[in-house]
């Protein structure tokens, strides 16, 4: 089989590929549901991260056990639990004692893959009973509405810059900011961060190539909103625990601990991001530094807004199918009563009214999904109903 034929076989034109994406999505959605249910006061963050990863490993481990050719499967992105003004990538080592408190705004980020076909998701949950109100509701509504708009604009024929501009307008309507430096990526088999990229905020320091969305592509759409300035900072490099092998880099490591740990990483995590929790901890601390310093590993730093700022995160995986966009990862939001609304924002309401599915000419009526099966969260108070058209 030529490379061209293989490449063609491994996109969404293959029913087997679609099945693997949806299988990974089903597992990561359930893992997210499990972690959300455990987000209670006094819950230890590292325990939640470990439960999320363990669930994904267990569920994927039960699949494709009896096939001749070994199929890689498991965690595509380690579970992260980032709280309040922490933006992303907090997935602490086993010795960490950080716990959740009543009222915390918790961002859960995770990913699963089957045969390299990746489904990622991020969701924000406030540790409280009853509706979320005030600025917490505003920042969460901003992230959710921006995600809904992005879902409708990431479609064949549209450009990545269309999405960048739109999500910033949505955040501004809620008096919030889209966080800088966050990228939405095209994903391919074993590639979590493909070359086609949607920038969260365009500015002179950050540029990406113009790109047009095409049928049969898969995207991870990543929306992070903040009540602060949206310019997060790295405060402590020691908090970084998630890395990914830079497969195009090589270097002759000097330290024995570095060589040992890099060999372990190359065997266990040759392609996907991983957490240092899954390595031998004492050697990892020593060896990871030299690996990062010589670009053998790409770190995912833990970033923070200012204390008192609130950050919300929604990420989903979308398949650009011939009959329209198929959002395969999500979780229903808590009830929100934001102070701000988009009632006076006709442009945003127009975007939200765009269809997700393409209406086919002729043929019978499309079956309506059962209640609760929609790929989106419920529309919030003060917003138009944006159910699938």
Distance of alpha carbon 48 from alpha carbon 32, whole angstroms? 10
Mean pLDDT of 274-290: 86
Decide: 351 and 154 in contact? Cβ < 8 Å: no
User: What pLDDT is recorded for position 9?
Assistant: 53
107 has which bridge partners? Answer: 82, 124
Does the pLDDT of residue 365 top 50, yes or no? no
* For residues 268-274, average pLDDT: 95
Does the pLDDT at position 47 exceed 80?
A: yes
Three-point CA angle 331, 372, 130, nearest 5°? 60
The four Cα atoms 147, 152, 153, 156 give a dihedral, to 10 degrees, of 130
Alpha-carbon torsion (364, 365, 370, 373), positive or negative = positive
Higher pLDDT, 198 or 366: 198
* E-assigned strand segments in the chain: 73-83, 86-88, 105-114, 117-126, 132-133, 177-178, 183-187, 197-199, 218-226, 233-234, 242-245, 274-275, 297-300, 303-304, 311-321, 324-327, 336-337
**Which pLDDT does position 61 carry in this prediction?**
94
Residue 368 has pLDDT above 60, yes or no: no
Q: Is the pLDDT of residue 364 over 80?
A: no
Mean pLDDT of the chain: 89
Q: Is the pTM of this model over 0.85?
A: yes
- Position 163 scores a pLDDT of 97
CA distance 196 to 232: 23
Mean pLDDT of 47-63: 97
Query: What local confidence, expressed as pLDDT, does residue 310 receive?
Result: 98
What is the per-residue pLDDT for 7? 45
> Within 13 Å and on the Cβ side, how many CA atoms surround 230?
23
d(CA 78, CA 269): 12
């Amino acid at each position: 089989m030529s490379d061209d034929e293989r490449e063609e076989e491994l996109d969404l034109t293959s029913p087997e590929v679609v099945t693997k994406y949806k299988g990974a999505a089903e597992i990561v959605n359930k893992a997210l549901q499990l972690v959300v249910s455990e987000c209670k006061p006094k819950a230890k963050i590292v325990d939640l991260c470990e439960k999320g990863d363990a669930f994904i490993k267990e569920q994927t481990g039960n699949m494709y056990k009896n096939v001749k050719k070994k199929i890689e499967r498991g965690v595509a992105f380690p579970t992260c639990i980032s709280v309040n003004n922490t933006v992303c990538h907090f997935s602490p080592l086993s010795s960490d004692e950080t716990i959740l408190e009543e009222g915390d705004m918790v961002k859960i980020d995770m990913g699963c893959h089957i045969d390299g076909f990746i489904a990622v998701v991020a969701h924000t949950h406030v540790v409280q009973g009853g509706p979320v109100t005030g600025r917490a509701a505003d920042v969460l509504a901003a992230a959710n509405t921006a995600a809904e708009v992005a879902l409708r604009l990431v479609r064949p024929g549209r450009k990545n810059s269309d999405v960048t501009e739109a999500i910033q307008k949505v955040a501004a309507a809620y008096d919030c900011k889209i966080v800088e430096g966050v990228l939405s990526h095209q994903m391919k088999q074993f590639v979590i961060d493909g070359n086609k990229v949607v920038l969260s905020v365009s500015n002179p320091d950050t540029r990406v190539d113009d790109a047009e969305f095409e049928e049969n592509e898969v995207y991870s759409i990543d929306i992070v909103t903040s009540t602060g300035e949206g310019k997060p900072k790295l405060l402590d490099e020691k908090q970084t625990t998630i890395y990914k092998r830079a497969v195009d880099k090589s270097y002759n490591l000097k330290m024995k601990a570095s060589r040992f740990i890099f060999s372990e990483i190359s065997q266990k995590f040759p392609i996907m991001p991983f957490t240092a929790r899954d390595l031998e901890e004492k050697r990892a601390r020593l060896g990871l530094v030299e690996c990062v310093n010589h670009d053998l590993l790409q770190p995912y730093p833990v970033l923070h807004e200012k204390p008192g700022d609130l950050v919300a995160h929604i990420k989903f995986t979308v398949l650009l199918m011939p009959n329209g966009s198929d959002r395969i990862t999500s979780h229903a939001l808590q009830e929100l009563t934001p102070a701000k609304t988009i009632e006076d924002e006709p442009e945003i309401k127009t975007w939200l009214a765009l269809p997700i599915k393409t209406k086919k000419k002729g043929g019978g009526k499309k079956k309506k999904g059962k209640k609760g099966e929609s790929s989106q969260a419920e529309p919030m108070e003060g917003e138009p109903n944006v159910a699938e058209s």
